[in-house]
Amino acid sequence: MPITVFATLIDRLVCAVMLLGSPLSPLAASMLSGQFRFMAHPLQTIRQSWRHTLAMARAEVISRAIVSRFHPDQEVITGQCTHCGKCCLDKQCVFLVMSAEGKSSCSVHGGWLWTRLRCADYPVSGHDIALYACPSFTASSSRRPIIPIRRSHS
Ligand code: SF4
Ligand code: SF4
């Protein structure tokens, strides 16, 4: 089975399980993040978990993570994050916090969970940048231009 087909199947399976398990999302989000606020607002968290999962499915987060293990990107990424929040599942991540000024921050940043998520490495490629229309990073090929060798004639 080609890796892309396998990755897509796993992606759909994970998203389906997340949707079916959404009633447990307040408990899961609280346990994963150590934040009680998800348990304090269960209906809000369940609705946000639907948006989170649908955004994951649209962006094929799981599928891309699997494929990139077999085909690592070879691009040089430059830029500095301006905290627009787009790469956080198009602002739908359940752990995303937006300030009154419209700046994004991650409520699990640097923690055990975050270090295991693909978003911790964003962006790793031009495709990543295009996927969420990141306004702050650019990608270029890591291949150096080939400089012709000048041979000296004695
Ligand atoms: S999309 Fe780009 S600028 Fe926006 S939060 Fe993500 S990395 Fe930062
Ligand atoms: S960086 Fe944080 S808020 Fe953004 S997608 Fe990852 S976990 Fe969610």
Provide the phi-psi class of 91: left if phi over 0, else alpha when psi is between -120 and 50, else beta.
Answer: left
Ligand nearest to the CA of 86: 1
CA distance 12 to 18: 10
Phi/psi at 4 (5° precision)? -70, -35
CA 34 to ligand 2 center in whole angstroms: 15
In this structure, the strands spanning 104-106 and 137-141 are unpaired
Closest ligand by atom to 119 CA: 2
Prediction pTM value: 0.88
pLDDT band at 74 (very low <50, low <70, confident <90, very high): confident
pLDDT at 143 over 90: no
Q: pLDDT band for 72, please (50, 70, 90 cuts).
A: confident
Strands (DSSP E) contained in the chain are: 75-79, 96-98, 104-106, 137-141
